[in-house]
Amino acid sequence: MGEGRIELKPVDSGPSTNFSMLAVAILAAGKGTRMNSALPKVLQKIAGNSLVERVLASCSDLKPDQYFLIVGHQAELVREKLVNIPKLEFVLQEPQNGTGHAVQQLIGVLKGFEGELLVLNGDVPLLQPKTIQKLVDEHRSSQAGVTFLSARLSEPKGYGRVFADSQGKVEAIIEDRDCTDSQLLNNLTNAGIYCFNWKKLIKILPRLSNKNQQGEIYLTDAVAMFDKAMHIEVDDPNEVSGINDRIQMAQCEALLQRQLQNYWMKRGVTFIDPKSCTLSQECNFGSDVIVQPQTHFQGNCLIGDGCHIGPGTLINNSKLGNNVKVLYSVIHNSKIGNEVLIGPFAHLRPESKVAKNCKVGNFVEIKKSTIGENSKINHLSYLGDAEVGCDVNIGAGTITANFDGERKHQTTIGNGCKTGANSVLVAPIILGSNVTIGAGSTLTKNIPSNSLAIGRARQFIKEEWFDPDRDQN
Residue choice 242, 372, 397, 432 for contact with ligand UD1 (CB under 6 A): 242
Tell me, what amino acid is at 253? E
SS3 of the chain: helix, strand, coil, percent, to 5: 20, 30, 50
H or E element, residue 134: helix 129-142
Residue choice 28, 59, 255, 277 for contact with ligand UD1 (CB under 6 A): 28
Q: What is the DSSP letter of 420?
A: P
53 makes contact, choosing from ligand UD1, Mg ion, none, with CB < 5 to 8 Å by partner type, with none
Residue choice 74, 96, 411, 419 for contact with ligand UD1 (CB under 6 A): 96
CB-nearer residue toward Mg ion: 98 or 242 = 242
123 lies in the site for Mg ion, by CB under 5 A: yes
Q: How far apart are CA 458 and CA 54, in angstroms?
A: 65
Q: Are 219 and 194 in contact (CB under 8 A)?
A: yes
Question: Shortest gap between Cβ of 177 and ligand UD1 (angstroms)?
Answer: 9
261 lies in the site for ligand UD1, by CB under 6 A: no
- Which of these segments, 117-125, 269-277, 371-379, 443-451, binds ligand UD1 (CB under 6 A)? 117-125
29 makes contact, choosing from ligand UD1, Mg ion, none, with CB < 5 to 8 Å by partner type, with ligand UD1
330 lies in the site for ligand UD1, by CB under 6 A: no
* φ/ψ (deg, to 5) at 409: -130, 160
97 makes contact, choosing from Mg ion, ligand UD1, none, with CB < 5 to 8 Å by partner type, with ligand UD1
Question: Shortest gap between Cβ of 218 and ligand UD1 (angstroms)?
Answer: 4
Provide the mask over 166-205, with x wherever binding to ligand UD1 is found by CB under 6 A and - wherever it is not. Answer: -------x-x-------------xxxx-------------
**Given 231, 296, 332, 379, which residue is catalytic?**
379
CB-nearer residue toward ligand UD1: 151 or 437 = 151
In this structure, the strands spanning 161-164 and 170-174 are antiparallel
Q: Counting Cβ atoms within 10 Å, is residue 22 exposed (0-12), middle (13-18) or buried (19+)?
A: buried
CA dihedral 8, 12, 16, 22 (to 10 degrees): 80
Residues with Cβ within 8 Å of 76's Cβ and at least 6 positions away in sequence, in order, are none
CB-nearer residue toward ligand UD1: 252 or 289 = 252
99 makes contact, choosing from Mg ion, ligand UD1, none, with CB < 5 to 8 Å by partner type, with ligand UD1
218 makes contact, choosing from ligand UD1, Mg ion, none, with CB < 5 to 8 Å by partner type, with ligand UD1
Active site residue 139: no
219 lies in the site for ligand UD1, by CB under 6 A: yes
Q: What is the DSSP letter of 131?
A: H
Q: What is the DSSP letter of 245?
A: S
Q: How far apart are CA 328 and CA 346, in angstroms?
A: 7
Give long-range contacts, CB 8 A cutoff, 24+ apart: 133-137. 133/61, 133/62, 134/232, 135/193, 135/195, 135/232, 136/22, 136/62, 136/195
Q: Which residues are the active-site residues? A: 379
Binding site residues, ligand UD1, CB under 6 A: 27-30, 41-42, 70, 72, 93, 96-99, 101-102, 121-124, 159-160, 173, 175, 189-192, 218-220, 242, 244
